[in-house]
């Protein structure tokens, strides 16, 4: 027979599993990434609603396009410029936020020919009510006074594992972005090598033909035979 203190824990865990998803959330952290094509001479802007005392981390990379560079702007809800990168290929920025919509823009107006392929990732921290989530967790568990392991320790361990998993996903996403950019650079170099190799081959053929013609002309008898 299950002892009474453990019975409360079992019932509490079952209640947690059957509870709505909101009650099972821990430290809220949102992570999303996007890849888009920015045409030449264009500027694209995006908006992200944020809460007070939250954290906005944004990382971007130019994956393809001549020069691998772009202008980047990050503006606060009041219209103040928080970050400005000029002709950069990548960047990482973190800001503590307030209530309102943050705007970030990628500017390719300086380029008249080349379009750019841009990857960016958003990581939003502290977007939920951690204290309320912990209270929702605690109210399902009773009879834990005799347990050696505290519920706070379990919650801290779960949050630590969740944070490390999120960091691993973020690093893998960035590595894929780096791999895509390196592959585009290698393909561009491959095309250039092939083009200039064909040009060099054509020049060699023309020079060889001219040399053969000049040598033949040196040995031709140009004296007119008398009849």
pLDDT per 10-residue tile (average), the chain, 227 residues: 40 40 44 90 93 91 89 94 93 92 95 92 78 54 53 76 79 79 83 90 91 83 57
The per-residue pLDDT for 13 is: 43
pLDDT at 154: 76
Record the tokens describing residue 32, joined without a space: 């999303």
Residue 21 tokens read as 């998803």
Query: How is residue 174 written in tokens?
Result: 């960035």
Q: What is the pLDDT of residue 75?
A: 95
Specify the pLDDT at position 203.
Answer: 92
Q: What is the pLDDT of residue 3?
A: 42
Token code pair at residue 218:
């040196």
CA angle 174, 175, 177 (to 5 degrees): 65
Q: What is the pLDDT of residue 175?
A: 80
Using DSSP, state whether 29 is helix, strand or coil: strand
d(CA 100, CA 117): 28
Instruction: For 109, list phi and psi in degrees, rounded to 5.
Output: -70, -20
* 116, β-bridge pairs: 38
pLDDT at residue 70 in the model: 94
Express the helix, strand and coil content of the chain in percent, nearest 5 each.
Answer: 45, 30, 25
Distance CA 58, CA 46 (A): 12
Please tell me the distance from the alpha carbon of residue 52 to that of residue 127, in angstroms, as a whole number. 9
């Amino acid at each position: 027979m299950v002892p009474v203190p453990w019975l409360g824990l079992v019932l509490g865990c079952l209640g947690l599993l059957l509870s709505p998803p909101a009650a099972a959330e821990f430290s809220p952290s949102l992570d999303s990434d996007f890849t888009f094509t920015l045409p030449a001479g264009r500027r694209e802007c995006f908006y992200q609603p944020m809460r007070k005392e939250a954290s906005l981390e944004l990382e971007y990379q130019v994956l393809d396009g001549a020069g691998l560079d772009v202008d980047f702007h990050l503006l606060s809800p009041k219209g103040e410029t928080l970050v400005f990168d000029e002709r950069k290929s990548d960047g990482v920025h973190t800001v503590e936020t307030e209530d309102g919509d943050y705007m970030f823009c990628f500017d390719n107006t300086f380029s008249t020919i080349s379009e750019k392929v841009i990857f960016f990732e958003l990581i939003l921290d502290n977007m939920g009510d951690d204290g309320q989530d912990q209270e929702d967790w605690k109210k399902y568990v009773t009879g834990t006074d005799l347990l050696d392991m505290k519920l706070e320790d379990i919650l801290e361990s779960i949050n630590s594992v969740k944070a490390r998993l999120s960091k691993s996903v973020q690093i893998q996403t960035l590595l894929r972005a780096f791999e895509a950019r390196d592959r585009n650079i290698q393909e561009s170099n491959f095309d250039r090598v092939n083009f200039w190799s064909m040009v060099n081959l054509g020049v060699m053929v023309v020079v060889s033909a001219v040399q053969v013609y000049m040598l033949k002309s040196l040995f031709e008898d140009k004296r007119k035979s008398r009849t």
